[in-house]
């Protein structure tokens, strides 16, 4: 029997992020609701001089680490040095990358039902939210 839902690894990049706690709060809310399980997180920053800094959950200040206690300790560390190095390689100075491994807990029963029905997984792809918004906007623009 399958006991886990599918996992997405999400990589977000940009300039210096505003890490004010809102993303962490939303991840905590979704975890508490049983929608997702955050398995691991990694933040990589490259300063203006091009020096990289890697922040894992264990490296966070105590107050932020406490706010991230909804992330199971047994899954922390899925992102390793090789992952961080791969992310750093493509980064521009003065930028940051945030990586998340998220299990879709909501899908566990669906995956079990599909497995029981003898259905085999073929493929999967994700359409980014901005593209979905554009597609729906084009539908209303054409009417």
Residue 132 domain-assigned? yes
Within 13 Å, how many C-alpha atoms sit on residue 11's CB side? 11
**Both tokens of residue 28?**
């905590």
- pLDDT at residue 121, as a whole number: 77
- pLDDT at residue 3, as a whole number: 84
Q: pTM value? A: 0.82
**Low-confidence stretches of the chain (pLDDT beneath 50):** none
- pLDDT at residue 143, as a whole number: 61
Question: What is the extent of the structural domain holding 125?
Answer: 7-141
**How many beta carbons lie within 10 A of that of residue 4, not counting itself?**
13
Residue 2 domain-assigned? no
Residue 84 domain-assigned? yes
Residue 1 domain-assigned? no
Residue 39 domain-assigned? yes
- pLDDT at residue 90, as a whole number: 86
Residue 99 domain-assigned? yes
Work out how many domains the chain is built from and give that number: 1
| Ramachandran category for residue 77: left, alpha or beta (phi over 0 → left; psi -120 to 50 → alpha) | left
- pLDDT at residue 126, as a whole number: 84
Residue 78 domain-assigned? yes
Residue 64 domain-assigned? yes
- Contacts of residue 131, Cβ cutoff 8 Å, sequence gap at least 6: none
């Amino acid at each position: 029997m399958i006991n886990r839902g599918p996992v997405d690894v999400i990589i977000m990049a940009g300039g210096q992020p505003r890490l004010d706690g809102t993303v962490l709060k939303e991840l905590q809310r979704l975890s508490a609701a049983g929608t997702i399980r955050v398995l691991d997180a990694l933040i990589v920053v490259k300063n203006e001089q091009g020096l990289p800094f890697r922040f894992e959950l264990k490296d966070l200040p105590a107050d932020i680490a406490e706010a991230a206690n909804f992330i199971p300790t047994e899954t922390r560390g899925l992102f390793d040095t090789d992952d961080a190095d791969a992310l750093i390689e493509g980064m521009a100075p003065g930028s940051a990358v945030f990586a998340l491994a998220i299990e879709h807990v909501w899908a566990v029963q669906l995956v079990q039902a599909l497995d029981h029905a003898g259905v085999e997984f073929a493929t999967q792809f994700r359409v980014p939210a901005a593209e979905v918004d554009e597609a729906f906007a084009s539908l209303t623009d054409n009417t």
